[in-house]
Structure 1
């Protein structure tokens, strides 16, 4: 894995945005799975402010690694956040935005979205392959919407699963571990002091760390990059890049 450590959340967002735009060069089409959360929100702001007119957004297809089962007008919706901070500010064709329909029945929607991925993406041994999957990580070590208490969903047969938030009971639709690990590139965006303990456990592979779904991210391509701020990386013996 490649660890990139920056001063704060803003610098992480700026450096990742540069990295993403670099990835888009010389690509005819690019399929990316987005994440929700506070750091992606800043990333979307940076992309909109700095790259709105500098990128051919018509070649980028946007998906989500997970979505809360709420309507697209709900403040909890990852889709709504992305529209407000990115899509409303760039010239991206409507047909390039492939949202998880959080307002629909979760089980049916997981099946529909898995089918959509199969149709739209190249497949490696039957598993849809993204060019890039962007992941966050929770304080509990969850990633996408695979939580520790449902870690078996990681290896689910279906490409998309219905997960349940351990505290709120909210249903979520999420891609599974096979889809994550089949991606050509996987990037973690992790910031804040509350993440430092889990970052240390997962990066250093301490005893018991395999109970955290984020520890299972190990793309077949070998292309795994962590974008961390100094707070999240505080327990690592690493020098900032």
Structure 2
């Protein structure tokens, strides 16, 4: 685990964008799972403005670690957010964008997306392997869409699962923990005071840390990066 701490969320976005551009450089094909949330939104803006003409976007295939079960033009759609802040501003082949169909039946879509990952990605012991998975973390310690009240989904047999938001009841399709931990490199993007307590518990392995899904992120590769701002890292 490597902790990278920056002044604010804008510095986090700048640093991560530089890291991303280096990560994909000179690779023939890269498979990346994206995250939703406020911090990735800023990252996508920086990537588009600073690296839009530098990165070979045709070599990158984009997926999502999770998606809300809403249409692709809904304001809550992670896909729509990525289109608005990144894809609409860069030259990327449509066939390189592999979205979760949030408008479809959740159970059927989880099966379809799991099958897509099996077809498109190399597999390690039967589990699809991304080159990079970008994760966020909620105030409750959830990551992707694996929430504490459904932490058993982390080890689900299926590569993709249907999760339920604990408050809204909204359905979401999410990759499971096995897929996350099979990834070659995992990067968390976490900012804000509201995340500080969970960041302390998880990164310092304090009592009860195991009940938070984000604490279960432990890629077999050993390549785990946390991009934090000072607010999120204020207790460590």
Q: TM-score range by the shorter chain?
A: over 0.9
Per-residue deviation, 1:50: 0.4
The aligned residue for residue 173 of structure 2 is 173
Per-residue deviation, 1:118: 0.2
Alignment RMSD, CA only? 0.3
Runs of 4+ residues over 2 Å off in structure 1: none
2-structure distance, mates of 1:26, 1:52: 16
Per-residue deviation, 1:108: 0.1
Per-residue deviation, 1:25: 1.4
1-structure distance, mates of 2:206, 2:154: 20
| Aligned residue-pair number | 236
The aligned residue for residue 18 of structure 2 is 18
The aligned residue for residue 98 of structure 1 is 98
* TM-score (normalised: structure 1): 0.98
2-structure distance, mates of 1:155, 1:24: 29
* TM-score (normalised: structure 2): 1.00
2-structure distance, mates of 1:45, 1:26: 22
Per-residue deviation, 1:184: 0.1
Unaligned 5+ segments in structure 2 are none
After TM superposition, list the pairs within 5 Å mapping 1:212-223 onto structure 2. 212-223=212-223
The aligned residue for residue 59 of structure 1 is 59
The aligned residue for residue 239 of structure 1 is none
The answer to whether structure 1 residue 124 and structure 2 residue 117 are counterparts is no
What do residues 91-111 of structure 1 show as CA deviations (whole Å, max 9, x unaligned)?
000000000000000000000
SS in structure 2 of the partner of residue 67 of structure 1: strand
Per-residue deviation, 1:26: 1.9
The answer to whether structure 1 residue 207 and structure 2 residue 207 are counterparts is yes
After TM superposition, list the pairs within 5 Å mapping 1:85-164 onto structure 2. 85-164=85-164
After TM superposition, list the pairs within 5 Å mapping 1:44-55 onto structure 2. 44-55=44-55
The answer to whether structure 1 residue 195 and structure 2 residue 195 are counterparts is yes
SS in structure 2 of the partner of residue 4 of structure 1: strand
Unaligned 5+ segments in structure 1 are 237-241
2-structure distance, mates of 1:124, 1:141: 27
SS in structure 2 of the partner of residue 137 of structure 1: coil
Per-residue deviation, 1:217: 0.2
The aligned residue for residue 82 of structure 1 is 82
2-structure distance, mates of 1:162, 1:85: 26
